[in-house]
Structure 1
Amino acid sequence: MYTSPPIVIDNGSDTTKAGFASEDLPSLVFNTNYSVGADGKVIVGDEEIDAHPENEVMTLMDNGLIYDFDNIIHNWRYVYDNLNNGYSIDPKDYPLTMTEQSWNTKQNKIKQTQIVFEELEVPIFSLVKKPLCQLYHMGRSNGLVVDIGSSTVSVTPVLDGIIQSKFTSYSKFGGDYIDANILNYMNSTVDLSTVVDQGTESYKNYQLSKKIIKEFKISMLNIAEDPINLSLPLEQQFQFTLKNFQLPNKQYVPIKQHQLEILEYLFQPNFSKLSPQPPSIEKPNSNGLSHFIISTLKNLESHLISEDPNNTNKTNEILRTYVSNLLITGNVSLLSGLTTRLTKDLSSLSYRILPSIRPFINPLNNFQVNDVNEIWDKKFNTWLGASNLSLMINDSKSVAMDNWFVTKEDYKEFGEDYIYEKFK
Structure 2
Amino acid sequence: MANPLPQAVYGGDEISAVVIDPGSTWTRAGFAGEDSPKAAIPTFYGREGDKIYVGDNDLHTARPGMEIASPMEDGCVADWDMTVKIWDYALSKRLYTDAKEHPLLVTEPSWNPSKNREKAAEIAFEQFGVPAFYLAKEAVCSAFACGKPTALVVDIGSAVASVTPVIDGLVLKKASFHSNFAGDYVNLHLKNLFRTKEIELTPHFMVSRKQPVEPGQPAQATLRVFDNITPSFIEFERGRILNEFKESTSQVLDLPYTEAGASTRPVRSFEFPDGYNLVFGNERFTTTEPLFQPQLFPLDGSAPATTQSGSSPDGSGAHGITELITASIAACDVDARANLVNNVVLIGGTSLLTGCTERANADMTRSFPGMKIRIQAPGNSSERKFAGWIGGSILASLGTFHQMWIGKKEYEEVGAVIVEKRCICERRLCTIIANCDNMEHVGHELDDFW
Q: Give the TM-score band, short-chain normalised.
A: 0.7 to 0.9
Change (3 A) 1:241 1:359: closer
Tell me the equivalent position of 1:192. 200
- Aligned residue runs from structure 1 range 202-281, under 5 A: 202-210=232-240, 212-229=241-258, 234=259, 238-239=263-264, 243-274=268-299, 275=303
Change (3 A) 1:277 1:389: closer
Change (3 A) 1:252 1:96: same
Change (3 A) 1:2 1:324: same
Tell me the equivalent position of 1:362. 374
SS in 2 for 1:70: helix
Select which of 292, 296, 299 maps to 2:324. Answer: 292
Say whether residues 1:34 and 2:45 are aligned partners.
Answer: yes
TM-score under structure 1 normalisation? 0.85
Tell me the equivalent position of 1:104. 112
Change (3 A) 1:323 1:242: closer
- Aligned residue runs from structure 1 range 115-130, under 5 A: 115-130=123-138
Change (3 A) 1:70 1:281: closer
Change (3 A) 1:183 1:92: same
TM-score under structure 2 normalisation? 0.80
**Aligned partners of 2:235, 2:248: CA distance in 1, in Å?**
20
Select which of 231, 244, 247 maps to 1:201. Answer: 231
1:357-399 residue CA offsets vs partner (Å, 9 max, x unmatched): x31011125x6xx5xxx2221111111110111112xx2xx2x
1:259-313 residue CA offsets vs partner (Å, 9 max, x unmatched): 11111111111122325699x974584221112211221233xxx4xxxxxxxxx
**Aligned partners of 1:51, 1:177: CA distance in 2, in Å?**
26
**Aligned partners of 2:38, 2:190: CA distance in 1, in Å?**
31
Select which of 35, 49, 52 maps to 2:59. Answer: 49
Is the Cα–Cα contact under 8 Å of residues 30 and 36 in structure 2 kept in the other structure?
Answer: yes
1:81 maps to a residue whose letter is: S
**Aligned partners of 2:325, 2:357: CA distance in 1, in Å?**
13
**Aligned partners of 2:313, 2:102: CA distance in 1, in Å?**
47
**Aligned partners of 1:188, 1:422: CA distance in 2, in Å?**
53
* CA deviation after TM superposition for structure 1 residue 408, in Å: 1.4
1:27-48 residue CA offsets vs partner (Å, 9 max, x unmatched): 111111111112x111111111
1:384 maps to a residue whose letter is: I
**Aligned partners of 2:261, 2:149: CA distance in 1, in Å?**
46
Is the Cα–Cα contact under 8 Å of residues 100 and 129 in structure 2 kept in the other structure?
Answer: yes
SS in 2 for 1:186: helix
2:51 maps to a residue whose letter is: K
**Aligned partners of 1:219, 1:9: CA distance in 2, in Å?**
29
* CA deviation after TM superposition for structure 1 residue 254, in Å: 4.9
Contiguous gaps of at least 5 residues in structure 1: 305-314, 352-357
Change (3 A) 1:349 1:401: same
Deviating more after overlay: 192-201 vs 115-124: 192-201
**Aligned partners of 2:265, 2:326: CA distance in 1, in Å?**
31
1:334-356 residue CA offsets vs partner (Å, 9 max, x unmatched): 111111111011011111xxxxx
Is the Cα–Cα contact under 8 Å of residues 284 and 296 in structure 1 kept in the other structure?
Answer: no
Is the Cα–Cα contact under 8 Å of residues 148 and 329 in structure 1 kept in the other structure?
Answer: yes
**Aligned partners of 1:277, 1:387: CA distance in 2, in Å?**
33
**Aligned partners of 1:155, 1:108: CA distance in 2, in Å?**
21
- Aligned residue runs from structure 1 range 13-412, under 5 A: 13-38=24-49, 40-54=50-64, 55-84=66-95, 88-192=96-200, 194-195=202-203, 198=226, 199-210=229-240, 212-229=241-258, 234=259, 238-239=263-264, 243-274=268-299, 275=303, 282-283=314-315, 285-300=317-332, 304=333, 315=334, 317-351=335-369, 358-364=370-376, 370=379, 374-392=380-398, 395=399, 398=400, 400-403=401-404, 405-412=405-412
Change (3 A) 1:225 1:34: same
Contiguous gaps of at least 5 residues in structure 2: 1-6, 10-14, 207-225, 307-311, 425-450
Is the Cα–Cα contact under 8 Å of residues 186 and 253 in structure 1 kept in the other structure?
Answer: no
* CA deviation after TM superposition for structure 1 residue 237, in Å: 6.2
Is the Cα–Cα contact under 8 Å of residues 284 and 291 in structure 1 kept in the other structure?
Answer: no
- Quick one: percent identity of the two aligned structures? 29
Q: Going by fraction, where is helix more abundant, 1 or 2?
A: 1
Change (3 A) 1:276 1:139: closer
